[in-house]
A and B are shown apart, each in its own frame.
Chain A
Amino acid sequence: MNRPIRVLIAKPGLDGHDRGALIIAQSLRDEGMEVIYTGLRQSPAQIVATAVQEDVDVIGLSCLSGAHNELFPEVVRLLEEQGAGDILVVGGGVIPQEDIPFLKEKGILAVFTPGTSTREVAEFIRKAVAERKA
């Protein structure tokens, strides 16, 4: 059975800028994925709970407030704690290049910064999910 890829788009922390998150959510839907959007102000624990409950393949985290170094790794840590380490985590937002190696080391698979096309994100997710299953 080839079920569609399920993605949770999440806004961790208090940042209210959701233009990017909403655009990505809609674009991934247009690419045939099933997308759930958490809405604003989710704690890492809430995001992980939703991801597990909704049985998603991927979590896309969006943050523009500079809190990414604290919030993104916490999501990965909680996923592992819950035995859901197979859920892939990607991130996006206003994130300096120099933070990306740290985030990757903490288990964020990819970080998409401003200017990335939605198609690029979709292709990345498709490939990563296929590789994980293989």
Chain B
Amino acid sequence: MGHEKSWEKRVRDWEENTERLLEKKPERKERFETLSGIPVKRLYTKEDLPAAAAEELPGEYPYTRGIHPTMYRGKLWTMRQYAGFGSASETNRRFRYLLEQGQTGLSVAFDLPTQIGYDSDDPMSVGEVGKVGVAIDSLEDMEKLFDGIPLDKVSTSMTINAPASVLLAMYVAVGEKQGVKSEQLRGTIQNDILKEYIARGTYIFPPKPSMRLITDIFAWCAKHVPKWNTISISGYHIREAGSTAVQEVAFTLADGIAYVQAAIDAGLDVDQFAPRLSFFFNAHNHFFEEIAKFRAARRLWARIMKERFGASNERSLQLRFHTQTGGSTLTAQQPDNNIVRVTLQALAAVLGGTQSLHTNSRDEALALPTEESARIALRTQQIIAFESGVADTVDPLGGSWYIESLTDEIEREAMKYIEQIDAMGGAVSAVEQGFMQREIHRVALETQRKIESGEEIVVGVNQFRLDHEPQPELMRVDPEIARQQIEALQALRNKRDGAAVQETLSRLKRAAEGTDNLMPYILDAVRAYATVGEICHTLRSVFGEYKPV
């Protein structure tokens, strides 16, 4: 005591003392690691801080610390709860309820027939109408969905991929009927087909025509709907299918590279469409890894856009993203525990600098959320935003030795995957070869084994169980809705101008066989009240359907 030891000497002494302590008191595990398998050291010190990290500022390239200089001090993230079920009128009521409760953006969930381009009366739709989202067959349903909701005042996110162009056209057409110009519309369509082949399964067409539809949307929106986010490149579903955080970042950005390349190949200028690209990530369980993941994704994308694609518009370099908490982490057992999981995940998203957030409801491992559980989920965000103080300074974990070192590590590991995918000819080709699908499945199996062996603890499932699970009230979709939906659809078919519908569909078919931008043709068909199924079948007749490997 008394004399000052050097830092190096103090660290050496600390390590020696700790080693001695370990002989008497071993640690809980021999090896600690993140969910991506990145080793977690016992202690992080200033030696772990990457040199560049100390020099980074928010709002500056490569945006590790956030895309805005003031972040949530200027504007909180958008609280955007995903909702939709049953009929358009019923979902309209839930939307109005959520807006009254202080939600600041809408997010539409469509049922599976709509997502895969079938009408409600198609034999493929049996049992699925209005189940996981709202059933939309035609512009008439879309008018009911946004009845009394001024499209110049809200921003709307639509989770739609294979028929994204059709639903976007319907949104534009509803705007026209409300007297809102397409230039004023704000929102996002998911429009990410590659992750459908990789992880979620709601594809229709093969990759090549799908990529054409996507670049047609980019080009058309740049002219007509300039405030619209034309794609939300999604890691969410990749993670839900079982990937690690590193794979989530790598595969999502690899998909992003494929879209940018396709648009450039179609003759678009990178700085014209890139500012409207947005991303969608999962917030999973490992708190620090998730925060580092968001920071790493931002930095990687900025570098890819600048170095690989030569983008120069600042907005082209900034990765903006929506986050949803991890659905697959929720347990059917003791569902109230899910509120806690969601809180931690939402906090990670906020500390990671998300632009918008959906917090899952506690009962989602059992059914669609009830109104009460949807409200608690929204309140969770509001408590984080208004009570916790975490939104009051920018990138509060920036400079944390652990977070910065983990951010670097995730960036490095994700880049290795991206290089591997490049070597396979890019994401489209890697998807066609089943590469991402296999990698994700491998990790999903490992995770299942770790849970079954107890190596990974899931509270309430493989530890801390209850003998008797109380059964919560669940939300149910009335099967009557499917019948009413089919009746309304058939009534529409009788009252619309059938010849006009056929005419627009024939023009669409010819355009699909050629190279014109398909958006104007789809918009004409939508205005004539052609259905989602009719439009998609027309495109199927030209493009064919995707068959997985």
Contacts and interface: CB of A to CB of B under 8 A. Distances in A.
Among B116, B132, B479, the one with the most A-chain Cβ atoms within 10 Å of its Cβ is B132
B132 A66 contact: yes
Most chain B beta-carbon contacts within 10 A, residue among A39, A115, A117: A115
A27 B444 CA distance: 12
Contact of A66 (B131, B242, B444, B445): B131
Nearest to A24: B448
For this complex, into which size category does the number of interface residues on chain A fall?
A: 20 to 34
A19 interface: yes
B331 interface: yes
A71 interface: yes
Contacts of B116: 14, 41
B467 to A, nearest CB: 14
A13 B112 contact: yes
B163 to A, nearest CB: 13
B128 A26 contact: no
Interface of A: 13-19, 22-23, 26-27, 39-41, 43, 65-67, 69-71, 94, 96-98, 113-115, 117-119
A17 B127 contact: no
B126 A70 contact: yes
A13 B128 contact: yes
Contacts of B477: 66
Nearest to B465: A115
A31 B527 CA distance: 55
Nearest to A23: B448
30 contacts: A14-B112, A14-B113, A15-B112, A15-B128, A16-B201, A16-B202, A18-B241, A19-B242, A19-B328, A22-B441, A22-B444, A23-B444, A27-B445, A27-B448, A40-B201, A41-B124, A43-B123, A65-B112, A65-B128, A65-B131, A65-B132, A66-B367, A70-B127, A70-B479, A71-B126, A94-B365, A96-B367, A115-B333, A115-B458, A119-B452
A39 B434 CA distance: 14
Q: Which of B112, B461, B479 gathers the greatest number of chain A CB atoms within 10 Å?
A: B112
A117 B465 CA distance: 14
A114 B331 contact: yes
B40 interface: no
Contacts of B240: 17, 19
A30 to B, nearest CB: 9
Interface in B433-483: 441, 444-445, 448, 452, 458, 461, 469, 471, 474, 477, 479
B548 interface: yes
Contacts of B333: 115
Nearest to B116: A14
B444 A17 contact: no
B135 to A, nearest CB: 12
Interface of B: 112-113, 115-116, 118, 123-128, 131-132, 196, 200-202, 240-242, 328, 331-333, 365-368, 441, 444-445, 448, 452, 458, 461, 469, 471, 474, 477, 479, 548
Nearest to A26: B445
Contacts of B448: 23, 27, 118
B200 A16 contact: yes
B112 A94 contact: no
Contacts of B458: 115
By secondary structure, the A interface counts as loop
A114 B202 contact: no
A23 B442 CA distance: 9
A65 B477 CA distance: 11
Contact of A115 (B127, B201, B331): B331
Contacts of A115: 331-333, 458, 461
**6 cross-chain pairs, A with B, having the tightest CB-CB distances, nearest first:** A16-B201, A70-B127, A67-B127, A14-B112, A66-B131, A114-B332
Contacts of B332: 94, 113-115
A70 B367 CA distance: 16
B272 to A, nearest CB: 33
Contacts of A16: 112, 196, 200-202
Contacts of A67: 126-128, 131
A71 B242 CA distance: 26
B429 to A, nearest CB: 21
A13 B127 contact: yes
Given A23-B444, A43-B124, A118-B452, A66 B474 contact: no
Among B125, B126, B241, the one with the most A-chain Cβ atoms within 10 Å of its Cβ is B126
A67 B458 CA distance: 28
A96 B444 CA distance: 24
Contact of B366 (A14, A15, A96): A96
A14 B132 CA distance: 11
Nearest to A39: B548
Nearest to B333: A115
B459 to A, nearest CB: 11
A22 B437 CA distance: 11
Contacts of B444: 19, 22-23
A119 B462 CA distance: 13
A113 B132 CA distance: 18
Contact of B128 (A14, A94, A96, A114): A14
A98 B113 CA distance: 26
